[in-house]
Amino acid sequence: MISGALGEFGRIRRFFAPLAGPGGLGLTDDAALVDCPPGHRLVMTVDTMVEGVHYLPDDPPDLVARKLLRVNLSDLAAMGARPLHYLLTSALPKSVGDDWVERFAAGLAQDQRIYGVALLGGDSVATPGPAALTLTAIGEVECGGEIRRGGARPGDRVWVSGTIGDAFLGLKVLRGHHPDLTDSDRIALIARFRLPEPRTALGPRLAGIAHAMLDVSDGLVADLGHICDASGVAAKVRLTALPLSAAAKRLAAAQPDLAVQLATGGDDYELLFAAPPEASAAIRRLSTELALPISEIGTIEAGEGVRLVDAAGQPIPVENAGWRHF
């Protein structure tokens, strides 16, 4: 039995039933119904966040909810899919009261409006341990429009959306690093860590353009390595081409070794993709249309592995590709 005055059924009725879309059947049935339009396929992904591992007990509950939803929407975007629905399960300790759940649901409601998705169903259980939250996201692609990791070819250009390294810096700021930053830089970096911006508008537009794609969660170098492994190719990335935010640029100017850390940090949730040179003009037009920077940062080559090079084309050693929560 869930703690709190409302109990499990009360919480579902009060906080979650209002989030349910038509397929969720008011959250009163054993399962949800999902339609798939002819000529389309569904795309599904799932992620878990654990209190004390992926977020802190005193993090704002609405931001925890929104991050959980957004990291999943980012996975859908990375396949070129348009988001539609989600399922949610929560294992909550008694210390988590109705107020926390109410604020958590309010965060979901906010992002449902932003991304046009709705709740389909879920499960609520009690746990003696830390809270564990799991979200399954469902999207759709036109048949053949899905973009996988394994299609990169030598000669392709490597592109990345937005800016890289901000979430890594945001976590460092939360841990007391970079005390000399301005308040606005601190706020901007922390926001990027707490509230990723899944590129849901860009992803589906890259069908027929990108040969291979994923979203950057382990760190740009490690994730590009995943594309290389799956595609049987190598990649070269120019560190000076890495798109940095204004705050990251200011820090990197004062600390020359920081750029490599930003290239290997994680939690960016930007789209990283390989596309043939002839697609460059279309990608630049998309960037303008969506008002989203999309930067060419390197090339796909024959071979294996990812090389990071400096302005003179000299290799830069990468000690720690792939960042972990612990």
Residues engaged in binding a second copy (CB under 8 A)? 1, 25, 28-36, 38, 41-50, 52-54, 75-76, 78-79, 81, 87, 89-91, 120-123, 125-130, 132, 134, 136-139, 141, 146, 148-150, 214-215, 226, 230, 324-326
The smaller minimum CB distance to a second copy, of residues 68 and 189, is found at 68
The smaller minimum CB distance to a second copy, of residues 147 and 297, is found at 147
Amino acid in position 143: C
Residue 25 Cβ vs a second copy, minimum distance, rounded to whole Å: 7
The smaller minimum CB distance to a second copy, of residues 36 and 253, is found at 36
The smaller minimum CB distance to a second copy, of residues 173 and 216, is found at 216
Residue 266 Cβ vs a second copy, minimum distance, rounded to whole Å: 13
Task: Provide the pairing of β-strand 132-142 with 40-50.
Answer: antiparallel
Residue 144 Cβ vs a second copy, minimum distance, rounded to whole Å: 11
The smaller minimum CB distance to a second copy, of residues 132 and 239, is found at 132
Task: State the Cα–Cα distance between residues 305 and 234, nearest whole angstrom.
Answer: 5
Amino acid in position 126: A
Task: State the Cα–Cα distance between residues 313 and 237, nearest whole angstrom.
Answer: 10
Residue 97 Cβ vs a second copy, minimum distance, rounded to whole Å: 18
Distances (CA, A) of 11 to 8, 58, 266: 5, 21, 34
Nearest-CA neighbor of 217 among 198, 236, 235, 240?
198
CA 36 to chain centre: 24
Sequence-distant (6+) residues with CB within 8 A of 76 are 43, 45, 82, 83, 137, 139, 198, 200, 203
The smaller minimum CB distance to a second copy, of residues 78 and 242, is found at 78
Exposed/middle/buried for residue 243 (C-beta within 10 Å: 0-12, 13-18, 19+): buried
Sequence-distant (6+) residues with CB within 8 A of 25 are 32, 33, 121
Residue 313 Cβ vs a second copy, minimum distance, rounded to whole Å: 31
Distances (CA, A) of 24 to 12, 32, 98, 145, 152: 12, 5, 22, 27, 38
The smaller minimum CB distance to a second copy, of residues 15 and 269, is found at 269
The smaller minimum CB distance to a second copy, of residues 244 and 272, is found at 272
Helix (H) or strand (E) holding 16: none
Nearest-CA neighbor of 107 among 192, 44, 171, 15?
15
Residue 86 Cβ vs a second copy, minimum distance, rounded to whole Å: 10
The smaller minimum CB distance to a second copy, of residues 170 and 203, is found at 203
Residue 74 Cβ vs a second copy, minimum distance, rounded to whole Å: 8
Residue 306 Cβ vs a second copy, minimum distance, rounded to whole Å: 16
DSSP states along 164-225? SSHHHHHHHHHTT--TTS-HHHHHHHHHHHHS----TTHHHHTTTT-SEEEE-SS-HHHHHH
Residue 63 Cβ vs a second copy, minimum distance, rounded to whole Å: 19
